[in-house]
Structure 1
């Protein structure tokens, strides 16, 4: 059984091209580093994130220094959040690398879960996120279209993000049913949802080459 499990993992692992496999592995480490950098801000600055002034640590636990800020956020907090943003797709690619051969694994890990994540983050930013003023180019966001909303608060970009998430849901259904036109849907959602759409874009490019 152990040998079968090992062979199965290796088979799934080879589904990713070398550069994407390397990104997936490094991205997982990047998420850990990003988390650590964000925590450093809590040990230096009284209010690491002005959106959540209550999220702080007692003064007795803080270091006697304060980091400079990039717009609203301390330097390590900014770097940590952006590391999370650009490494977040690695979570889904790692799941695909491990479970891609399982029934519906491709649709779930490459499109379905990224779509759920986009819908969740877009809803959060639109409804619950305490928006800082003035808006800033440094506002973190998991897709480029979400960044346009978070950096301007222009509702048109939030609406566009919801529509792209709907496209992701439709793409997931098409992929599960292996319907004609799935390749175009994968490419469209992958590009429009970058960088979160990287897994779907990879699948779309791969499928386009197969179809060709």
Structure 2
């Protein structure tokens, strides 16, 4: 049976093995919280940042479930300003579970990325990296231009999060009528942001781009 101290070593070992395998491909580790996640970024070209995060939270074991995201720097910075926030912004993202399921449903199992002992880390990390290459990279590359990112978001179900992102991305791309239409939807759907965040975003957006 795996002991508590051994399970506690899993996050660090996972983070180290991922770093060893991802750094040669241009990824940089920028966040590591042992009971939360390890996150990496890569800049394929100026102004675009790819994000890759792997879960490290668990009890008797850890499921190394992961997600990928794309950040267009100019739009992300504007989005932070309009919200009055400083945290990272990924305009579009996807869980690896969904990406694998969409491509090959039979490959998604509850234990695909499961690690219950340090001896299982290398195999599980190898699978995580292989899935990033096979399923994550096509998603990232497919959304590395702003028009494609907008197209992806328009095809998805939307909440305030997506409408805000679309408003900003359309404004940055020069489509102000489309941006204002997304802003109107942002203000009319069920709020998901706390406090006066909705009002702050609408006010700042109209101050910058007009009604």
Whose helix proportion is higher, 1 or 2?
1
Normalising by the smaller structure, the TM-score range is under 0.3
**Could you state the TM-score of these two structures normalised by the residue count of structure 2?**
0.27
Whose strand proportion is higher, 1 or 2?
2
**Could you state the TM-score of these two structures normalised by the residue count of structure 1?**
0.27
